[in-house]
Amino acid sequence: MRSLLFLVLISICWAEPHSDNSSLEHERIIHIQEENGPRLLVVAEQTKVFTHRGGNVTLPCKFYHEHTSTAGSGTHKIRVKWTKLTSDYLKEVDVFVAMGHHRKSYGNYQGRVFLKESSENDASLIITDIMLEDYGRYKCEVIEGLEDDTAVVALDLEGVVFPYSPRLGRYNLNFHEAQQACRGQDAVIATFDQLYEAWRAGLDWCNAGWLSDGSVQYPITKPREPCGGRNTVPGVRNYGFWDKDKSRYDVFCFTSNFNGRFYYLIHPTKLTYDEAVQACLKDGAQIAKVGQIFAAWKLLGYDRCDAGWLADGSVRYPISRPRKRCSPNEAAVRFVGFPDKKHKLYGVYCFRAYN
């Protein structure tokens, strides 16, 4: 009896937080590995998968017993649990749980996730109708009796990061307002990984902005005096973590492709803002959002040298082929400003969603 107890005590491997309906309390699960028989192994054949908004994706995960080809011992039921890891790895959001014939999905994953089950050891998760919020790292955990193992898969989205500030001007958003500002422009607040990849692709912006983890950062590819100093190295500058309610900065948003048509409306006259809104509606569309003009520019190569109203009251135009009088030095979405809505006249960019 004493030897059995000793074996159980020395086989305690680690403790990890236990997720319960998308929140972590102070509960912990003790993982115990049985000394008898082959060890359970969980493997992800790919550690990162790519997709786009509206698409379907499979997060790979399979389980085996060490030195055998069998999926399970047959003694215990297999429990498969998928969770999404937060950026700081301190919390896990429940996504999907399966045990035997029982299945349960959580939150906005309901009706969009199910197991692939191409074989008896396949715990891969299929996610349909991908949303911007689905971006991130997912953990596949397989439990059999007292044994379990995990694998992590990153889900990456094709998309574009863009800096955003409202009509009020520079540094006017707290963290919660920043989140809402991105949502209002068909986007979500960007993660550090997304901003870092955008910096690697050439994004250079001197205004600091909120990121999804509550930090404030900005990307610099061309060091200069007003932006951290001329003698500094290029990189993503980090202001650290600030009060989400009281501190005010700009924000970096992330958006992906869309299911619809983005276009400049051919109209016989220039328009005020209200006239622009009505012109798009009359054409069976809506006035386009900032996220949509960035997605069209970056992902579709949309190019137009005509400044046009957007839904937030700003006026912009997308240039993918730099030329004289149309952003001669770089491809970019050019920002004209937030003109007087009642008196200034411009064209308009519209967006028509596909059913």
Give the model's pLDDT for residue 36. Answer: 54
The mean pLDDT of the chain is 88
Q: What token pair was written down for 331? A: 């491809």
Alpha-carbon span 267 to 349, nearest angstrom:
11
Torsion-angle region of residue 22: left (phi > 0), alpha (psi -120 to 50) or beta?
left
Nearest to 85 by CA among 171, 152, 170, 159: 152
Q: How many Å separate Cα 116 from the centre of its chain?
A: 23
Beta bridge partners of 220: 235
pLDDT reported for residue 71 = 54
Query: Largest alpha-carbon pair distance within the chain?
Result: 91
State the DSSP code for 52: -
Q: How far apart are CA 6 and CA 111, in angstroms?
A: 46
Q: In angstroms, what CA-CA distances link 99 with 75, 191, 297?
A: 14, 33, 45
Torsion on CA atoms 335, 341, 345, 346, rounded to nearest 10: 40
Q: Please determine, for residue 9, whether its predicted confidence score (pLDDT) is greater than 80.
A: no
pLDDT-above-70 percentage for the chain: 86
Q: Say whether pLDDT at 355 is over 90.
A: no
Q: pLDDT value at position 72?
A: 52
Per-residue b/e over 248-279, b at no fewer than 16 CB within 10 Å? bbbbbbbbbbbebebbbbebeebbbbebbbeb
pLDDT tens per residue across span 192-234: 999 999 999 999 999 999 999 999 999 999 999 888 888 889 9
Alpha carbon distance 276, 311 (integer Å):
9
Q: For residue 20, what pLDDT is reported?
A: 40
Output the six-digit token pair for 220: 């610099």
Q: For residues 210 and 213, give the distance between their C-alpha atoms in angstroms, rounded to a whole number.
A: 8
Model pLDDT, residue 289: 98
Residues in contact with 158: Cβ distance below 8 Å, sequence separation at least 6, in sequence order: 50, 51, 52, 256, 257, 299
Over range 230-243, report the average pLDDT.
Answer: 93
Q: How confident is the model at residue 11, as a pLDDT? A: 38
Please give the pLDDT value at position 223. 93
The single residue listed with the structure tokens 């991105």 is 182
Looking at residue 10, its pLDDT comes to 36
Q: Is the dihedral of CA 338, 339, 340, 344 positive or negative?
A: negative
Q: 143 with 72: CB under 8 angstroms?
A: no
Cα 267 to Cα 95: distance, rounded to the nearest angstrom: 47
What is the per-residue pLDDT across 90-140, written as a single tens digit (0 to 9) for each?
Answer: 789 999 999 988 999 999 999 999 999 999 999 999 999 999 999 999 999
Average pLDDT over residues 314-335: 95
CB of 192 within 8 A of CB of 89? no
- Structure confidence at residue 91 (pLDDT): 86
pLDDT at 313 over 90: yes
Q: Range with the lowest mean pLDDT among 1-10, 83-92, 125-134, 245-254?
A: 1-10
- Cβ atoms of residues 150 and 140 within 8 Å: yes
> Who has greater pLDDT, 103 or 25?
103
C-alpha angle 20/141/68, rounded to 5°? 155
pLDDT of 23 above 60: no
Q: What's the one-letter identity of residue 125?
A: L
Cα(56)–Cα(48) distance, rounded to whole angstroms?
A: 15
List the structure tokens of 307.
């400044």
Quick check: helix, strand or coil at residue 297?
Answer: helix
